[in-house]
Amino acid sequence: MSEDVTQEQTIPDPALASAVLEIESHVAEQGWDQPARLYALVETARIVTNEPELARVMGLDESSAEGSLTPVEQEPTGPERPLEQLLEEIAWPETVDGAAVALERLVLPPEVDEQIPEDPVEAGRFAREHPLRQEVRLVAGVTRSGSTYCALRMRAHDDAQSVVDGTSLVPGLIELLRSTFEDEEIQ
């Protein structure tokens, strides 16, 4: 059974993959050094049916609605609240079919993991000052049904052809996003 589950999780949901890559492209057009962004993902067909005027303004019609998700950017999270904290507090309504986040982070190669200080403030300073640091933009998305997809762009290789994508590039962020769809009664 675990083999089937593993294989199922690695097969990308085309609608989610398309939405994540659309978000990545949109954010990339606006450059680097941006705050974290949060998106609700809504079945495009639901927007076309329930919000025809909005669909018209967005250029959506029934043919574009089939099997796709539309990203709807949420209010900015602001620098005073870390995205991770915000995600721990979110519970999406049933009309939201998925969620995605776009954020920038510094990453270090695995060989320096042992050198990273335990204190979060010191760890941040260590990462910012380390000569092997890389700046990356991550976009991670999940659906209510459990599909996941991610895209990663390095600042050092800032072009669309260098975007790395897959179903589980940032497992911790994916789990945080999944938790926004958990039923509180089950917890």
DSSP assignment of the chain, as one string?
Answer: -HHHHHHHHHSPPHHHHHHHHHHHHHHHHT-SS---EEEEEEEHHHHHHH-HHHHHHHT--HHHHTT-EEEEEPPP--TTS-HHHHHHH----TT--EEEEEEEEEE--GGGGGGS-SSHHHHHHHHHH-TT-EEEEEEEEEETTS-EEEEEEEGGG-SGGG-EEES-S-HHHHHHHHHTTS-TTT-
82 in a domain, yes or no? Answer: yes
pLDDT at 78: 61
pLDDT at 185: 40
21 in a domain, yes or no? Answer: yes
**Domain enclosing residue 83, as ranges:** 2-179
Which of 95-99, 111-115, 180-184 has the weakest average pLDDT?
Answer: 180-184
105 in a domain, yes or no? Answer: yes
User: Tokens for 180?
Assistant: 């926004």
pLDDT at 184: 46
pLDDT at 107: 86
187 in a domain, yes or no? Answer: no
CB-based contacts of 170, cutoff 8 Å, min separation 6: 138, 140, 150, 152
Q: Of all residues in the chain, what percent carry a pLDDT higher than 70?
A: 88
Q: What is the mean pLDDT of residues 152-180?
A: 92
Q: What is the mean pLDDT of residues 12-27?
A: 94
Q: Residue 73 and residue 164: Cα distance in Å, rounded? A: 22
pLDDT at 79: 63
Condensed to tens digits (0 to 9), the pLDDT of residues 126-154 reads 888 888 888 999 999 999 999 999 999 99
pLDDT at 182: 84
Q: Which of 67, 56, 70 is nearest to 22 (CA)?
A: 70
Q: What is the mean pLDDT of residues 33-58?
A: 89
Q: Find out whether 42 and 96 touch, Cβ atoms under 8 Å.
A: yes
**What's the structural domain count of the chain?**
1
**Overall residue count recorded for the chain in this entry:** 187
